[in-house]
Amino acid sequence: MNSLFLRPFALLLTLLPISAIPQSIAQQNRVTESTTQAVELTVEERLWLDTHQPIRIAFDGNFPPYSFIDNGKLTGIAYDTLQLISQKLDIQFKIDKLTAWKEIYIAAINKEVDVVATMVNRPERLQFFAFSQPYIFKSLVIITNKNGTQITNRNQLPEKIVALVKDYQYSTRILNEFPSITPFYVNSMHDALEAVESEQADAAISFFATSAYLQNKHQLTQLKFGAFYDRNSANESIAVRGDWPILATILQKGLNILTPEEKQTIREKWHTQLELPIDYATITKFITPLLFIVIVLLLWIRQIRHQNKRINNTKNKLLKSNNALKNLKENLENKVFQRTEQLHKSEQKYRSLVENLNDEYFFYQHDLEGVFSYLSPSITTILGYSITEFLQHYSTYQTDHPNNALIDDYTKRCLNGEKIPAYEVELFDKQGNKRCIEVLESPVYNDAGQCIGIEGIAHDITLLKQAQDRLSWLSYYDDLTGLANRRLFLDRFEQTLILAHRHTNSTALLFLDINRFKIVNDNLGHAAGDEVLKETANRLLTDLRDSDLAARVGGDEFTLILPDTDADAAEIVAKKVLQHLLKPYTLNEQQFILGASIGIAIYPSDGNNVKTLLQQADSAMYCAKKAKQGYAFCSSEQIHANSRRLILEQSLRKALAQDCYTQDFELQMFYQAKLCLKTNKTIGYEALMRWHHTELGAISPIEFIPLAEETGLIVELSHWVMTAICLQTVHWSQLDFDFGKIAVNISAVELINLDLANKIINQINSSGAQKECIEVEITESALMKTPEIATKVMSQLVEAGILIAIDDFGTGYSSLSYMKNLPASFIKIDRSFIRNLLNSKEDQAVIHAVLAMSHALGKKVIAEGVETQEQLQFLAESGCDMVQGYWVAKPLAAKDIN
């Protein structure tokens, strides 16, 4: 046979038991004449079968050789397997007329079909189906034309024209993995092979056994096996409607009871001889490490031989050294004995004094010529020198400290009988460190009353001096960052302004704080906050001149004094500083981008004294928080805006402190209904916060939400919102009001808190609300800032029974491969795609793509911002699940919802 596969290599049609489908019609052919073997079903299982037969079953009619229509009749591996199970279990199967896979899948979800003979067990399908163990194992292969493009591995697919079957899940996966290929869509795998045969496509990706069967049947002689795309990636199971798990158990028993002879019968019927190319890449993959290991072993053996040789040489040297040490020991013992006799004579005289000295003091005596006659052993503990070393080289251990030049004068005065106060000298210890020694000396007289020398006590005060120096340093510098503190900053800035006035020069003051620092400090701990401050200080020093000064003036606030700097030069410095501070900070093995806001004030245009310029720079810094570039100069408008910002911050802090949830309170929750397009009923609400200031009136969320995030009040604000929503759900439940679920938004700055999920769950539980009534919305852009932490938080919430919605989808640039792994149940299309959808083909394409992707992943789609009937109709016809917007309902206070 001249075909794609000639030489026997591997049988990949199935790797587990092969089975066939049962049939209620007597005229159906049977695969085997073997004796039916009884299957032990429980009483419950047998009764269930008796009351639910016939079982409606559907087969994919275009899936050779697993299940397909041949000459008008259904046949294939799955058909034969289920027929054999039917005989063994005495099940009456009614074969459904549907044979198109997409129609079968939809009918099975709607329970119009009870069993699907072949379906891949995927997580998103478990909510609809119960599955048997896989009984058909499939691998994807790449098929090419013998005379066309040669493809020997999957990485050669990009930029190629590839034939793919429409509506098959593997086609979507391939396009996600290789987006640069050009798809050539066909209706069947047969059409895909024909496209390659006729050179309309460079390659086709199909299942191994299917390709072999169709190539042999239709005599496609120009085809060639290129490579495996992947192995055993889509293994088929029997799928049973989800509310009949007992039937899945029964069918699994049928699969388990198939005998080896029955499996062999099916195997021989559908056996295809296959030819695979030699996989040189795989051979190389295994041989290369083996060769490396052999080389390493040879080198290791050679190294061991050299080491043995060195060991033998070292052993001989050690023997010689031992003999020399033995001789040295004998000589030392003799010297020690002689020295012991000498020391014994003077030991008694000084024992009481020396034994009372601690390690900070040493005692000494010397004669009129300065020759030491005694030195206490504590000299070694203090300076590290032996007594002999110190006595012989004392003068060389003196540093160049000015006090040391006065030693001779103090000695002369002491010998003359003058009472000398304690004085300080400085010596090098044996490690080369400088030690500060306080000396107190007095003259020594003989029996005749003549001065014969000096005795003294030396006190090591190095640590005391260091402590004094440290206290002096801390008066002017920040202990954590090493930068100038507020005291030194004010003093240096005052001096800088005096010089600037004298020379008529400009001086710039930059006032900055770290964005989101309070959130990091509160959620990751003060240790993480300290690391941010230290790293920020290091980055600030990167581009500063010697004449500039960086200072930490409090918390996360820093200042930069830039002498001889005008506005243009100050702007350049601000940009450089922002570049450094926008680099990621690594905290607890995770990376965070914080950034900073910088306010700039220029002397003399913005003020002529320290206080004014500092206030102006501080005001400009708050304006910088709203500026895209991250820095701002001082202006009258900014001062007014900062004044309003300060009022709002104080008012919001005061309102939250009241912990009030009454209907007349200035903070209120409004609720906007969400409409199900299928039932035309309200299925839930999104909670939206409103603030009616007692003096300023209505404050927009666009203004106070960012303010809360910048000041760290977002944590208290989120707690208030969640409490208000929980109390409202409890109240509505007591009124028997079916409100569905209440969706609440989570701020992006809170997602860095790994304990966020536990806080939300504990808050819901303590309020008496039901977790099933709460839904959490997280914006797509927030997910992309901290994807790992956000995914962990979402998973913990889902495990607790709280559903997740991805808000503002389409604005965060997330990849489909990332979104498919998110534990979210709902996708909310951003209102920017809804606003002009009737006039924008691009927006329509985005909406269709999001709907297709979301539904394929088993997620429902909500469109927000619907404001016209035309928009609503378009979304309904496009298959959108739910809508929300002013056309459906405006946000209302809880008391106004009917």
On whether both 706 and 772 belong to a single domain, the answer is yes
The tokens for 704 are 């106070």
The proportion of the chain whose per-residue pLDDT surpasses 70, expressed as a percent, equals 88
In angstroms, the CA 23 to CA 83 distance is: 6
> What number of other Cβ atoms are within 10 A of residue 206's Cβ?
28
Domain count, the chain: 5
On whether both 541 and 672 belong to a single domain, the answer is no
Q: What is the pLDDT of residue 328?
A: 72
CB–CB of 424/437 below 8 Å? Answer: yes
In angstroms, the CA 731 to CA 739 distance is: 11
As a whole number, mean pLDDT of residues 309-326 equals 76
Q: What is the pLDDT of residue 377?
A: 86
User: 582, 602, 634: which is the final residue of a domain?
Assistant: 634
Q: Rounded to whole angstroms, what are the CA distances from 626 to 79, 112, 622?
A: 67, 57, 8
CB–CB of 805/826 below 8 Å? Answer: yes
CA atoms within 13 A on the CB side of 612: 10
As a whole number, mean pLDDT of residues 557-572 equals 94
CATH code of residue 769? 3.20.20.450
Q: What pLDDT, in 10s, does the model give residues 346-387?
A: 555 555 555 455 567 888 888 888 888 888 888 888 888 988
Cα angle value 748/752/758 (rounded, 5°) = 100
Which of these, 213, 70, 226, 50, lies nearest to 150 by C-alpha position? 226
As a whole number, mean pLDDT of residues 478-500 equals 93
On whether both 622 and 742 belong to a single domain, the answer is no
Question: Which one-letter amino acid corresponds to residue 610?
Answer: V
pLDDT band, residue 406 (cuts 50/70/90):
confident
Q: What is the pLDDT of residue 19?
A: 34
Reported as type and span, the H/E element at residue 251 is: helix 245-256
Does residue 317 surpass a pLDDT of 50?
A: yes
On whether both 459 and 506 belong to a single domain, the answer is no
Cα 215 → chain centroid: 48
User: 233, 261, 296: which is the final residue of a domain?
Assistant: 233
Q: What is the pLDDT of residue 848?
A: 93
User: 607, 634, 661: which is the final residue of a domain?
Assistant: 634
Q: What pLDDT, in 10s, does the model give residues 840-868?
A: 999 999 999 999 999 999 999 999 999 99
DSSP 846-869: HHHHHHHHHHHTT-EEEEE---SH
- The total number of residues written for the chain in this structure: 898
CATH code of residue 258? 3.40.190.10
Q: What is the pLDDT of residue 820?
A: 75
- Average pLDDT of the chain to the nearest whole number: 85
What range defines the domain where residue 366 resides? 361-467
In angstroms, the CA 101 to CA 60 distance is: 5
Q: What pLDDT, in 10s, does the model give residues 451-485?
A: 989 888 888 888 888 877 777 777 789 989 999 99
Question: Which one-letter amino acid corresponds to residue 641?
Answer: A
Reported as type and span, the H/E element at residue 282 is: helix 280-355
> What number of other Cβ atoms are within 10 A of residue 118's Cβ?
27
Q: What pLDDT, in 10s, does the model give residues 827-836?
A: 999 999 999 9
Q: What is the pLDDT of residue 349?
A: 52
Is 31 within the bounds of a domain?
no
Does residue 516 surpass a pLDDT of 90?
A: no
Is 347 within the bounds of a domain?
no
On whether both 461 and 605 belong to a single domain, the answer is no
Is 33 within the bounds of a domain?
no
The tokens for 729 are 């759900």
> What number of other Cβ atoms are within 10 A of residue 275's Cβ?
15
On whether both 108 and 189 belong to a single domain, the answer is no
Does residue 250 surpass a pLDDT of 60?
A: yes
Does residue 896 surpass a pLDDT of 80?
A: yes
Q: What is the pLDDT of residue 543?
A: 83
User: Which residues on neighbouring strands pair with residue 163, listed in sequence order?
Assistant: 184, 204
422 or 314, higher pLDDT: 422
Residue that has been written with the tokens 């697919």 in this structure: 157
Does residue 28 surpass a pLDDT of 60?
A: no
DSSP 466-493: HHHHHHHHHTTB-TTT-SB-HHHHHHHH
Is 26 within the bounds of a domain?
no
On whether both 748 and 840 belong to a single domain, the answer is yes
The tokens for 324 are 């020399």
In angstroms, the CA 79 to CA 537 distance is: 73
On whether both 174 and 195 belong to a single domain, the answer is yes
Class of residue 350 by CB neighbours under 10 A (exposed 0-12, middle 13-18, buried 19+): middle
Which of these, 87, 85, 52, 13, lies nearest to 235 by C-alpha position? 13
209 or 339, higher pLDDT: 209
On whether both 726 and 831 belong to a single domain, the answer is yes
In angstroms, the CA 421 to CA 409 distance is: 13
CB–CB of 99/60 below 8 Å? Answer: yes
Q: What pLDDT, in 10s, does the model give residues 712-724?
A: 899 999 999 999 9
Strand 507-514 and strand 697-699: pairing?
Answer: unpaired
Q: What pLDDT, in 10s, does the model give residues 774-784?
A: 999 998 888 87
On whether both 804 and 690 belong to a single domain, the answer is yes
In angstroms, the CA 346 to CA 329 distance is: 26
Torsion (CA) 713, 714, 716, 719 in degrees, nearest 10: 170
Q: What pLDDT, in 10s, does the model give residues 421-434?
A: 888 899 999 888 99
**Secondary structure string (H, E, C) spanning 184-241:** EEECCHHHHHHHHHCCCCCEEEEEHHHHHHHHHHCCCCCEEEEEEEECCCCCEEEEEE
Does residue 420 surpass a pLDDT of 70?
A: yes
Question: 65 preceded by cis ω (within 30°)?
Answer: yes
Q: What is the pLDDT of residue 34?
A: 40
On whether both 498 and 585 belong to a single domain, the answer is yes
On whether both 669 and 771 belong to a single domain, the answer is yes
Q: What is the DSSP letter of 377?
A: T
Is 290 within the bounds of a domain?
no
In angstroms, the CA 698 to CA 667 distance is: 10
pTM: 0.43
In angstroms, the CA 31 to CA 263 distance is: 11
Is 710 within the bounds of a domain?
yes
Is 782 within the bounds of a domain?
yes
Q: What pLDDT, in 10s, does the model give residues 182-222?
A: 999 998 889 999 999 999 999 999 988 888 889 988 899 89
Does residue 234 surpass a pLDDT of 70?
A: yes
CATH code of residue 548? 3.30.70.270
Q: What is the pLDDT of residue 545?
A: 92
SS3 9: coil
Does residue 506 surpass a pLDDT of 70?
A: yes
Q: Rounded to whole angstroms, what are the CA distances from 467 to 332, 461, 483?
A: 43, 10, 19
Is 2 within the bounds of a domain?
no
Question: Which one-letter amino acid corresponds to residue 276?
Answer: L
The tokens for 609 are 């004294």
